[in-house]
Amino acid sequence: MKQKNTIKDIPVQDRPYERCLAFGPEHLTDAELLAVILRTGRRGSNSLELSYEILRLAQTRETGMSGLYHLSVQELMAIPGVGKVKAIQLKCIGELSRRMARHRARERLSFDAPATIADYYMEEMRHLEQEVLLCMMLDTKNHLLGEKKIFLGTVNASLVSPRELFLEALRFQAVHIILVHNHPSGDPAPSREDVQITQRVRQGGELLGIYLLDHIIIGEHTYISFREKEIL
């Protein structure tokens, strides 16, 4: 049996590009979608076979296509047939997907609905390998004035200073704030430190007339809202 080393060796009706034209991209597998984007493979392997290799590496990081987001340019280039151009293309696909997801989530964003806030930040924050504490700043009508990353690292009650947070809130003339941070473990259950930070910010805000509406912890496709859990 002849080895299929190029896309031209695959029957026309089974080629990813032709299948996309005939049935639409929604009918293509993950590997077929990647093959259309990559266009070419390497000597001895076509673009579809190369795509399967890339996906196998991606799945060592996270199930499905999402693992691509975690792979660096250097890691992608370690795959034979993936040069700098292809590696950068793949990284840009991941970033484009993240931005599209966030744009869709912003259209549904409501500061009275914690689930919509979690959706808005999910694709940005669930992939992070370090904890990030972010503050959303709102006016009296709960319109978003701005957002600011307050801390990067291990969120610890002894390290996070409410002072920096409130300086930013005052700069934006915010009346309400919402805290959002991620748990790289994927489990959004609040730690003792999370509860302590929330209490310190709530108490400090009340003295300044800046009220904490919620603290949302992002996990792996899940979240916890202090407001919904009545911890706040």
What's the pTM?
0.65
CA distance 67 to 227: 32
Print pLDDT tens along the chain (232 aa): 444 577 778 888 888 889 999 999 889 998 899 899 888 888 888 899 999 999 888 888 776 677 787 788 999 999 999 999 999 988 888 888 878 877 776 767 778 899 999 988 887 888 788 888 999 999 998 888 988 888 766 655 445 678 888 999 999 999 999 999 999 888 999 988 889 889 999 999 999 999 999 999 999 889 999 999 988 7
Phi-psi region of 169 (alpha: psi -120 to 50; beta: other; left: phi over 0): alpha
pLDDT for residue 182:
93
Strands of the sheet containing 211-218, edge to edge, are: 144-153, 131-138, 176-182, 211-218, 223-225
Q: Classify residue 13 as exposed, middle or buried by CB count within 10 Å of its CB (0-12, 13-18, 19+).
A: exposed
The answer to whether the Cα torsion of 35, 96, 62, 58 is positive or negative is positive
Closest CA to 94 of 184, 27, 33: 33
pLDDT for residue 158:
45
Residue 138: half-sphere exposure toward Cβ, Cα within 13 Å: 16
pLDDT for residue 2:
47
Measured between its terminal Cα atoms, the distance across the chain in Å is: 67
The two tokens of residue 212 are 């904490």
CATH code, residues 110-225: 3.40.140.10
CA distance 194 to 71: 30
Q: What fold, for 7-102?
A: DNA polymerase; domain 1 (1.10.150)
Closest CA to 151 of 139, 137, 165: 165
pLDDT for residue 71:
85
The two tokens of residue 179 are 């805290």
**Domain residue extents for the chain:** 7-102, 110-225
φ and ψ at residue 133, rounded to 5 degrees? -105, 120
